Amino acid sequence: MTDVKGGAPAGERCMMVLSDSLAYYGPVGGLPANDPRIWPSLVGADVGLPVKLFGRIGWTSRDVWWALTQDPNIWATVPHTDVVVLAFGGMDTLPSPLPTALREQIRYVRPNRLRQLVRDAYSWVQPRGARLGWPLALPPKVTVEYLDKIRDALTQLRPDLPIVMCLPPTHRSPYYGYVHTGRIPTTAAIARWAEQHGLPCVDFYPATRDAFEDPAAEMNPDGIHWGFSCHRQIADLVVPVVETSRATR
């Protein structure tokens, strides 16, 4: 990224959220980044900051790092950011018996018939192999390595920039064999890393666990994404941490 050291210019402040699809998917699918019902928008409204949300479905910590180094829209946002919320890592914790790179490359297979056969084979193997709970999409050690890179890049440009770290949520997804044994070690590794750098954490696990167990929460049938009541609960957790981070920087 271009070197732009210094504080956020007055009158141009925003909250930047680096995330995966959990930030912008609702109970029936993906939504625009400015939808008022998703948790980043709710947090922005509560703390009085416009939100710049960067994320895509399936993003791991590695994908966020690549975006940070390649997306000029992120580069343009960093100088005006009042606080950064790192809300990813959930994908890192999921069992991935087949390499994630394989899934990403399926879209390029030609001809169309072969691509469909490969996709069908992947869809058959993934949930069954996921029951083993291993290997993870990213091992905890690798997740922390990418977190270090992301933090170093941001603080190199903005040493004063408050950063909030969100700990991984859970899922109840048949696509991952209803298995989530990777959450605990990855959460522990992220929490240790955040403590070492003095970064506040928001734990997404309790709220998402309870929501998936509550039929009234109307979570997405995929068992991964959330209903709007869960988005509200997550926002209520993030708001006070963001406010404190801004006040104490």
Domain edges within the chain: 1-94+138-168+182-197+232-249, 96-135
Q: How many Å separate Cα 50 from the centre of its chain? A: 19
| pTM for this predicted structure | 0.91
Compute the distance between CA of residue 40 and CA of residue 205 in angstroms, rounded to an integer.
17
pLDDT at 11: 46
Write out pLDDT tens, residues 187-244. Answer: 999 999 999 999 999 999 999 999 999 999 999 999 999 999 999 999 999 999 999 9
pLDDT band at residue 4 under the 50/70/90 scheme: very low
Residue 6 has pLDDT above 50, yes or no: no
Residue 98 has pLDDT above 90, yes or no: no
pLDDT band at residue 248 under the 50/70/90 scheme: confident
Architecture field, domain 1-94+138-168+182-197+232-249 = 3-Layer(aba) Sandwich (3.40)
Residue 130 has pLDDT above 60, yes or no: yes
For the residues 114-127, what does the mean pLDDT come to? 93
Cis-peptide, bond into residue 40, ω within 30° of zero: no
pLDDT at 102: 80
Compute the distance between CA of residue 42 and CA of residue 216 in angstroms, rounded to an integer.
20
Q: Which residues contact 163 (CB under 8 A, 6 or more apart)?
A: 83, 84, 86, 151, 154, 155, 199, 245
Residue 129 has pLDDT above 80, yes or no: yes
pLDDT at 180: 98
Write out pLDDT tens, residues 141-178. Answer: 999 999 999 999 999 999 999 999 999 999 999 999 99
Residue 61 has pLDDT above 70, yes or no: yes
Mean pLDDT of the chain: 94
Query: Lowest-confidence range among 23-27, 29-33, 35-39, 110-114?
Result: 110-114
Q: For residue 86, which of 104, 66, 65 has the smallest C-alpha distance?
A: 65
DSSP 3-18: ---SPPPTT--EEEEE
Give me the residue label for tokens 């933090």. Answer: 151
Residue 1 has pLDDT above 70, yes or no: no
Q: How many Å separate Cα 146 from the centre of its chain? A: 13
pLDDT at 35: 99
Specify the higher pLDDT residue, 105 or 17: 17
Q: Which residues contact 120 (CB under 8 A, 6 or more apart)?
A: none
Compute the distance between CA of residue 226 and CA of residue 231 in angstroms, rounded to an integer.
7
pLDDT band at residue 100 under the 50/70/90 scheme: confident
Residue 2 has pLDDT above 70, yes or no: no
